[in-house]
């Protein structure tokens, strides 16, 4: 069974600065995907970024980028130029490939961006 | 495209009552799933379905029933509500193949008193 660990329950960052959210996972699968989801106070789950395990290049989406270390089973999210709208809970998630694939979530981290 | 819709948005039940949380998607996704979100626990999978007529249990299935008679709909039934089922419930869907991200509904906040 796979597990996803987010060990920091809360973080705070000053507006315009950079923050990194940590995530580690454990799996025996070789083909899988990793995700970061954002959950603002509206409660909606929003996909931030996706990483395919077979790709060595780290994914980037505008101000969001990941540091994917496959051997270490680490998948951290870097948010550059933090904005007030980035205040949210962030979840790291894992799924193996296949029709029956299930999404396993970490416990989440609450990020606060200070003005 | 409405995406994934859920009704109701909020619900209060008394212990022992039953109810159905509705979920529908208009993206022709084969895979649909239900999660519950509790403080400090992340999202945990309750039940999932890989197609009409096929359902399976997730991590926390006790006290919940599902069925999948159409591709579009995947209702979640609480048979006899308990205070431990107070939670936020999310429905999600995805295609059977890649790229594997799931699309979430807006959630239902359920309180059982």
Three-state secondary structure string covering A68-114 = EECCCCEEEEEECCCCHHHCEEEEEEEEECCCCCCCEECCCEEEEEE
pLDDT(A30) > 90: no
Give the pLDDT confidence score for residue A101 in this predicted structure: 81
Q: Residues A40-66: what's their mean pLDDT?
A: 94
Q: Residue A108, by phi and psi: left (phi above 0), alpha (psi -120 to 50) or beta?
A: left
- Return the residue in A103, A104, A105 with the most chain B beta carbons within 10 A, the one to mutate for interface testing: A103
Give A17 to chain B, closest Cα distance, Å.
26
In angstroms, the CA B23 to CA A84 distance is 32
Give the pLDDT confidence score for residue A98 in this predicted structure: 75
Q: Residues A52-67: what's their mean pLDDT?
A: 94
- Residues from A contacting B (CB-CB < 8 Å) are 4, 6, 9, 33, 35, 43-45, 47, 50, 52, 91, 95, 97, 99-108
Mean pLDDT of chain A, nearest integer: 94
DSSP string, A2-55: -EEE---SEEEEETTS-EEE--EEE-S-SSEEEEEEEE-TT---EEEEEEETT-
pLDDT(B100) > 90: no
Give the pLDDT confidence score for residue A76 in this predicted structure: 97
Tokens of B47: 């039940």
3-state secondary structure of B100: coil
Give the pLDDT confidence score for residue B1 in this predicted structure: 74
Q: Could you report the per-residue pLDDT of B46-89, keeping only the tens digit for each?
A: 999 999 999 999 999 999 999 999 999 999 999 999 999 999 99
pLDDT(A99) > 80: no
Nearest partner of A85 among A22, A44, A40, judged by Cα: A40
């Amino acid at each position: 069974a796979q597990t996803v660990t987010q060990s920091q329950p809360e973080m705070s960052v000053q507006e315009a600065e950079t923050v990194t959210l940590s995530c580690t996972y454990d799996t025996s699968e070789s083909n899988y995907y990793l995700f970061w989801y954002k959950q603002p106070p509206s409660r909606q789950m929003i996909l931030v970024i996706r990483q395919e395990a077979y790709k060595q290049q780290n994914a980037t989406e505008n101000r969001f980028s990941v540091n994917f270390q496959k051997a270490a089973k680490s998948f951290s999210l870097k948010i550059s130029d933090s904005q007030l709208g980035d205040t949210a809970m962030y979840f790291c998630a894992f799924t193996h490939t296949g029709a029956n694939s299930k999404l396993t979530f970490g416990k989440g981290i609450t990020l606060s961006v200070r003005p | 495209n409405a995406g994934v819709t859920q009704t109701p948005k909020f619900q209060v039940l008394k212990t022992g009552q039953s109810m159905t949380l509705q979920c529908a998607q208009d993206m022709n996704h084969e895979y649909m799933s239900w999660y519950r979100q509790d403080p400090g626990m992340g999202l945990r999978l309750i039940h999932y379905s890989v197609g009409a007529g096929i359902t399976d249990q997730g991590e926390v299935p006790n006290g919940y029933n599902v069925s999948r008679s159409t591709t579009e709909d995947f209702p979640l039934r609480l048979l006899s509500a308990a205070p431990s089922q107070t939670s936020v419930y999310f429905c999600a869907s995805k295609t059977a193949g890649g790229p594997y991200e799931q699309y979430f509904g807006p959630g239902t906040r359920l309180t059982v008193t």
